Amino acid sequence: EAGVAQSPRYKIIEKRQSVAFWCNPISGHATLYWYQQILGQGPKLLIQFQNNGVVDDSQLPKDRFSAERLKGVDSTLKIQPAKLEDSAVYLCASSLDLRERRDNEQFFGPGTRLTVL
Amino acid sequence: AQKITQTQPGMFVQEKEAVTLDCTYDTSDPSYGLFWYKQPSSGEMIFLIYQGSYDQQNATEGRYSLNFQKARKSANLVISASQLGDSAMYFCAMRGDSNFGNEKLTFGTGTRLTIIP
């Protein structure tokens, strides 16, 4: 079974530029998550999708960050314009929509390491 | 609000010894789940073990076990017979079950474990 795919793996941009990250979840996984992991910290949820609908985007800086999952499969996270403090690893995760499974494990991709200069 | 505290930034352990990684949590949810993830230098988050708040027995998965003490709000990870491949960052995470369907994980700051040959 293929895992969660993310691209690119690394990205270096100047501040005020735009950048986009792509995520392809595990086939059949209805739920998709984007996390931001700043160096030395644990991941923080930015946005959660259930199929193509947003479940939680309370911690997404909506003035500069946007995300979409138009067909309920792959997803794109965009930052426009980027700031220095956006330097982080952006992790995508997916899980089955089995609400009767309490342990509903999240499977993570390898992440995209963003450096903003 | 949920909070996870990991007080050990780093640990060094001799190969083949057992190691305990500490995790305490705080939540107002009556039902919740606790997770441990491993993050090697490659960056991918690997699920290790899950403990439900109403589970009667401590969870075990191979060499991993979770020492769950509900009254003390602690969920320590125990790794038996440590191996060189266990060197990585370890994150404790929590998911509240009060808002069913919102499966956001709240992570701690992590513990960097180094196994010494």
- Does any CB of chain A come closer than 8 Å to the CB of residue B41? no
Cα dihedral B70/B71/B75/B80 (nearest 10): -100
> Residue A98: its pLDDT value, please?
55
Residue pLDDT, tens place only, A75-109: 999 999 999 999 999 999 998 865 555 567 889 99
> Residue A24: its pLDDT value, please?
96
- Nearest CB to A91 within list B42, B45, B104: B45
> Residue B98: its pLDDT value, please?
56
- Cβ contact (<8 Å) for B108 and A42? yes
Contacts of B109 in chain A (CB under 8 A): 40-42
Give the pair of three-digit tokens for residue B105: 């994980």
> Residue A71: its pLDDT value, please?
86
- Does any CB of chain B come closer than 8 Å to the CB of residue A44? yes
> Residue A103: its pLDDT value, please?
61
- Nearest CB to B104 within list A50, A56, A103: A56
- Does any CB of chain B come closer than 8 Å to the CB of residue A96? no
- Does any CB of chain A come closer than 8 Å to the CB of residue B108? yes
pLDDT tens digits for chain B (117 residues)?
Answer: 789 999 999 999 999 999 999 999 999 888 889 999 999 998 889 999 999 998 889 999 999 999 999 999 999 999 999 999 999 999 999 987 655 556 678 999 999 999 999
> Residue A110: its pLDDT value, please?
93
CA angle B68, B1, B78 (to 5 degrees): 20
User: What is d(CA B5, CA B13) in angstroms, rounded to the nearest whole number?
Assistant: 21
> Residue A68: its pLDDT value, please?
95
Q: Which of A40-44, A47-51, B25-29, B97-101 has the lowest mean pLDDT?
A: B97-101
Nearest CA in chain A to B44: A110
DSSP B22-76: --EEE---SSEEEEEEEE-TT---EEEEEEETT-SS--EETTEEEEEETTTTEEE
User: What is d(CA B42, CA B54) in angstroms, rounded to the nearest whole number?
Assistant: 34
Q: Which of A45-49, A68-72, B64-68, B101-105 has the lowest mean pLDDT?
A: B101-105
Contacts of A48 in chain B (CB under 8 A): 102-104
> Residue A2: its pLDDT value, please?
82
